[in-house]
Amino acid sequence: MSARPEGPSPNLESRKHPDRRTRGSSTQAPHRARLSGFARYALRRLLLIPAQLVFVLLILYLVIDVPVALTKTPPESLVAIDQGFYQMVFNLFTGNWGSTSYWPGQTGFLSLHLPWIQVFAYYIPASVQLAVFALPIAAVLAYPVSLLAGWSRRPGVDAPARFVTLTAALLPVFVVGTLVLNALFFTYLDYIQDAPSQGLIPSSYWFFTHGGYPSWILYHFATQPTGFPLADAVIHHAWDVAAITFMKTLIQASVVAVAYVAIFFRHARSIARSIRDEVFIVGARSRGISERTLLWRHAARAVAPSFLLVFALTIPEYLGVQFAVEVAFVDQSGFGYLIFASLSGGNLSPVVPLVFLIAIVVLVWALIVDLIAIRLDPRGVTGR
């Protein structure tokens, strides 16, 4: 009769502690599955972008080109219309966006024959620089205001926030920008000897009184080598230009941020209000945790992914706000002013590539924000 080994039986030990044998795998398998689900979702969204762009182009083609083709004498055939759409899609995806003989600049319409894609490259950096300033300001304003107004049930907190944001939403962005510009104009002109409008870099009047434009500024608004006015001024050690550029960018960015917060607040406030009744908040409150800790530590983390998704959904509204502010400030280095001047001048040739470029920006940025929100709250992957 063989002797039984001393010590507890492995089977008995595993029955007492059933999680010991699978503890390593149980903690790692969900992590691998979550990464796999996240990667699959990101790939699906990325592959969907070209189809979305083609759909947008189809709508534009039906609205702009098809009516013109049907009014010709004789009208174009359906085969020619289809071939025209396929050619338009091919040209846009391959960068053949056509050429222009003029476009708006600080000294009027410039009459150089350049491809539209190169003209866009002159205007995009200034708008990107403005967004880099405006978005953090908007986040600093929108996040705590929406969270506090949605969390608090006291009329003294929620009512003033709703009144201010609703008033800001009722006023057109162009009007708000014009009011701020008029309020700052004479004070800014007295102290800086420059106009707060006419682009992010100093105006032509300032340069003419300070020795003229340097060689690294093209067409009185496009800077080299990076294209970003503030960065190029620092690279060339033009500290006066850098200071004025920083100030003008900050002024425009503040107006963009305040106008956008009014739009963001209407969506985000309801999210913050619903978090009060979540189970983990009620349980933490029953344990005696203070309302301030619940708000700024627990609720603030919980609503962050939802706030990011709201921002992703309101990206078109943000772009509309920024473009309107650029027009109000006569920012002739901005992408919004290029759109406004082209359309008001009757030049419709850049309309399709402009919409195509804006659609790319909206779709890619929405994807990035959506993926960041999912990483902050991985539970969202399972429902997508």
User: Does residue 58 sit within a domain?
Assistant: yes
Give the phi and the psi of residue 38 in degrees, each rounded to 5. -65, -40
Structural domains of the chain, count: 2
Residue 68 located in a structural domain: yes
**Is 42 a member of any domain?**
no
Q: What is the pTM of this model?
A: 0.77
pLDDT bucket at 375, cuts 50 / 70 / 90? confident
Same-domain check for residues 107 and 247: yes
Range of 90-99, 180-189, 229-238, 253-262 with top mean pLDDT:
229-238
**β-pair type (99-100, 114-115):** antiparallel
* Tens digits of residue pLDDT in 197-237: 888 999 888 898 888 899 999 888 889 999 999 999 999 99
For residues 76 and 153, membership in a common domain is answered with no
Residue 122 has pLDDT above 50, yes or no: yes
Q: Give the model's pLDDT for residue 275.
A: 76
Is residue 3's pLDDT more than 90?
no
**157 neighbors 144 (Cβ within 8 angstroms):** no
Task: Tell me the DSSP string of 6-62.
Answer: SS--HHHHHHHSTTSTTHHHHHHHHHHHHHHHHHHHHHHHHHHHHHHHHHHHHHHII
* 185 in a structural domain: yes
Question: CB within 8 A of 14, min separation 6: which ones?
Answer: 20, 21
Domain, as residue range, for 187: 99-382
- Whether 242 and 232 have beta carbons less than 8 Å apart is answered as no
Residue 177, CB half-sphere, CA atoms under 13 Å: how many?
23
Is residue 111 in some structural domain?
yes
- 281 and 248 share a domain? yes
Question: 150 and 78 in one domain?
Answer: no
* Closest by CA position to 182, among listed 100, 255, 276, 91: 255
Domain check: are 120 and 69 in the same one?
A: no
Tell me which of 2-11, 73-82, 251-260, 369-378 is least confident.
Answer: 2-11
Q: Indicate the residue among 76, 94, 112 that finishes a domain.
A: 94
One domain, residues 80 and 178: no
Residue 262 shares a structural domain with residue 359: yes
CATH number at residue 227: 1.10.3720.10
Q: Confidence band (pLDDT; 50, 70, 90) for 161?
A: low
Where residue 240 falls among pLDDT bands split at 50, 70, 90? Answer: very high
Of 94, 124, 155, which residue sits at a domain end?
94
Residues 176 and 222 in one domain: yes
Is residue 307 located within the same domain as residue 189?
yes
232 located within any domain: yes
Residue-level pLDDT at 106:
53
Listing DSSP states for 237-253 in one string gives T-HHHHHHHHHHHHHHH
For residues 370 and 367, what is the distance between their CA atoms, to the nearest angstrom?
5
88-92, 266-270, 351-355 — which one is most confidently predicted on average?
88-92
Contact between 162 and 270 (Cβ < 8 Å): no
Which is more confident, 186 or 251?
A: 251
103: three-class secondary structure by DSSP: strand
Mean pLDDT of 263-278: 75
Same domain, 77 and 123: no
Domain boundary among 94, 109, 125: 94
372 and 264 part of one domain: yes
